[in-house]
Chains A and B, each alone.
Chain A
Amino acid sequence: MSEDVHALVGPYALDALDDIERAAFSRHLRDCEPCRAEAAELQETVTRLADGAWSVPPPGLRDNVLAAIATTRQIAPAGREEPRRAPGPRRLRLVAAAAAVVAVVGAGAVVWTVQDQRVRRAETLAEQARTSESRLRSILAAPDLVVREQQLASGGRVTMAMSRLRDAGVVTLVADGAPGPDRVYQLWTIHGETPASAGAMAVGQTTMVQVIEGLEGTSALGVTVEPAPGSTTPTSTPDALVKIT
């Protein structure tokens, strides 16, 4: 076996090869029994990483899947299938991928012509969201992440996930209901005795995610109900108070 090709066993197990290299590596595996064993073992290891991505599936998914399989014909066992030199399935996959690309591009083009202005706004928004999302992920992935949760007195809860290392926190607030007409939830970071606004929700909004930068000197996170669109200092007693240590 060629050492050179076999060095791809890691990327192969992680699905980190492009189609061409994957095909080359599969050929290599066909001719190399110990390599197959190693690849299988590493793939097995890799799938344990799926444990790290556990998430409750959407409620409708189960029914949809069961309905779909009821009308899906199963394929027969392959016998002792030699690894296939797969022009059939592979081509199909490429065609399917290409079709998906065309569909997506097509849909995009329609939006462009219909609402060019809106798309530009959406793109800016998406760009901002992407930046804040990557920041958010980096905070949540911090090794020293601490998570605190508090009930809201008005019903609901607020969770603060914070990292000293990133010097930042992520607040998720979910209220059982909107706090009434012209009232909004507002977040505060408290430095000593002084609260500073960390953002307010819109009227009628009941969930929010907020990244808070800079925890240095912050002793607590507060939630209050304020007149829309929010106040400069809290005007009511805290609905929840999360200690930051």
Chain B
Amino acid sequence: MAERGTSGRPEYLTPVPEPRREPDAGALLRAVAQGDEQAFGKLYDLVAPRVYGLIRRVLRDPALAEEVAQEVMVEVWRSAARFDPDRGSPTAWVFTIAHRRAVDRVRAEQAAADRTIRAGAAAVDTPYDAVADEVTGRLERQQVRHCLDDLTDLQRQAVTLAYYQGHTYPQVSELLKVPLATVKTRMRDGLIRLRDCLANGVAA
């Protein structure tokens, strides 16, 4: 929805600190659907930092995140022809796949009661990168952050616990000690408010 490039602004006037607003993910994805590997490389460069970052945020473990990010990108290649522009933007399609995969992995691992060891091992092995990224990443996410700040505490917690931690809404309800029905409602009205804020704001 927030894709740029089709707007009237001439390309040479694009301000410099806007590295990730590239012209047309839709055109790339259409080319990818026809087997264009070069277009896929460009699409990769466009989405990989967010795909990988998102998956790592949810899974915590960099090695596992790399593995899942690879699966996701290959899935994008494999099913590019199934992308339906009527149902959302191309980047949203990619990040939806990425998030779903990450969440599936988290839940499979929770079931195996293995997550503690993985998360722990990750923290022991690679603390520096994770933290450094966390710190520099803050600059990248100012707009999203600004809009998250705009939510009520409960809306924000409900949204971020689900999205960044991969919790189901009953888990969120338990974590926040809030009734199920309230969590459902807060997720919905939180997202609506987020949508309105992102639509009004300047591009990140």
Q: Are A43 and B96 in contact (CB under 8 A)?
A: yes
| Contact yes or no, B159 A14, CB < 8 A | yes
List chain B residues, Cβ under 8 A from A60: 66
Inter-subunit contact A101/B108 (CB<8 Å) = yes
Which residues of A lie under 8 Å from residue B163 when comparing CB positions? 14-15, 46, 49
Contact A50 B184, CB 8 Å, known A42-B192, A127-B120, A159-B132: no
Complex interface residues of chain A between 110 and 169 (CB less than 8 A to chain B) = 122-123, 125-130, 132-133, 136-137, 140, 143, 145, 147, 159, 161
Which chain B positions have C-beta within 8 A of A129? Answer: 119-121, 123-124
Contact B82 A51 (CB under 8 A): no
Knowing A17-B168, A51-B50, A159-B135 touch, does A65 contact B73 (C-beta < 8 A)? Answer: yes
Specify the chain B residue showing the minimal Cβ separation from A170: B131
The reply to whether B190 and A55 contact each other, CB–CB distance below 8 Å, is no
Instruction: Verify if A86 is at the interface (C-beta below 8 Å from B).
Output: no
Is B37's beta carbon under 8 Å from chain A? yes
Q: Closest approach, in angstroms, between the C-beta of B154 and any C-beta of chain A?
A: 12
Within 8 A of A (CB), among B57-96: 57, 60, 62, 66, 69-70, 73-74, 77-82, 87-89, 91-92, 95-96
Q: Are B48's CB and A209's CB within 8 A? A: no
Set of chain A residues within 8 Å of B89, measured between Cβ atoms: 44, 47
Docked complex Cα distance between A68 and B77 (Å): 10
Q: Is B28 an interface residue (CB 8 A)?
A: no
A76-84, A177-185, A192-200, A219-227 - interface stretch = A76-84
Q: A56 contacts B95, CB within 8 Å?
A: no
Write out the residue numbers on chain A whose beta carbons fall within 8 Å of the beta carbon of B33.
74, 77
Q: What's the minimum C-beta distance from A113 to chain B, rounded to whole angstroms?
A: 16
Which of A17, A62, A74 is close to B48, meaning CB atoms less than 8 Å apart?
A62
Tally of chain B residues near chain A (CB < 8 A): 100
Min distance, Cβ A231 to any Cβ of chain B, angstroms = 24
Q: Are A130 and B92 in contact (CB under 8 A)?
A: no
Q: A13-B191, A14-B162, A77-B82 are in contact. Are A126 and B57 (CB under 8 A)?
A: no
What is the CA–CA distance of A98 and B183 in the complex, to the nearest angstrom? 29
Which single residue of chain B is at the shortest CB-CB distance from A119? Answer: B117
Q: Report the Cα distance A143→B160, complex, angstroms.
A: 14
Q: Could you tell me the distance between the alpha carbons of A112 and B137 in the complex, rounded to whole angstroms? A: 38
Q: Give the residues in chain A near B50, CB-CB below 8 Å.
A: 50-51, 53-54
User: CB < 8 Å: which of A45, A50, A61, A130 contacts B69?
Assistant: A61
- With a cutoff of 8 Å between Cβ atoms, the chain B residues found around residue A147 in the complex are 135, 138
Q: Is the CB of B99 within 8 A of A15?
A: yes
Determine whether the beta carbon of A50 is less than 8 Å from that of B191.
no
Q: How far is the CB of A105 from chain B (nearest CB, A)?
A: 6
Docked complex Cα distance between A53 and B138 (Å)? 9
Q: Which of B78, B143, B181 has the most CB of A within 10 A?
A: B78
Taking Cβ atoms with an 8 Å cutoff, the residues of A that contact B are 7-11, 13-18, 40-58, 60-62, 64-66, 68-70, 72-78, 81, 93, 97-98, 100-101, 104-105, 108, 122-123, 125-130, 132-133, 136-137, 140, 143, 145, 147, 159, 161, 170, 172, 174, 207-209
- Residues of B whose CB lies within 8 Å of any CB of A are 1-2, 20, 33, 35, 37, 40-41, 44-45, 48-54, 56-57, 60, 62, 66, 69-70, 73-74, 77-82, 87-89, 91-92, 95-96, 98-100, 103-105, 107-109, 111-112, 114, 116-117, 119-121, 123-124, 127-128, 131-135, 137-138, 140-141, 143-145, 148-149, 158-160, 162-164, 166-169, 172, 181, 183-192, 194-195, 198, 204
Q: Given contact pairs A57-B69, A108-B117, A126-B120, enumerate 16 new A-B contacts (beta carbons under 8 Å).
A: A7-B181, A10-B185, A14-B163, A14-B187, A44-B1, A51-B141, A52-B137, A53-B53, A55-B57, A56-B52, A57-B51, A61-B70, A68-B74, A69-B74, A73-B78, A105-B114
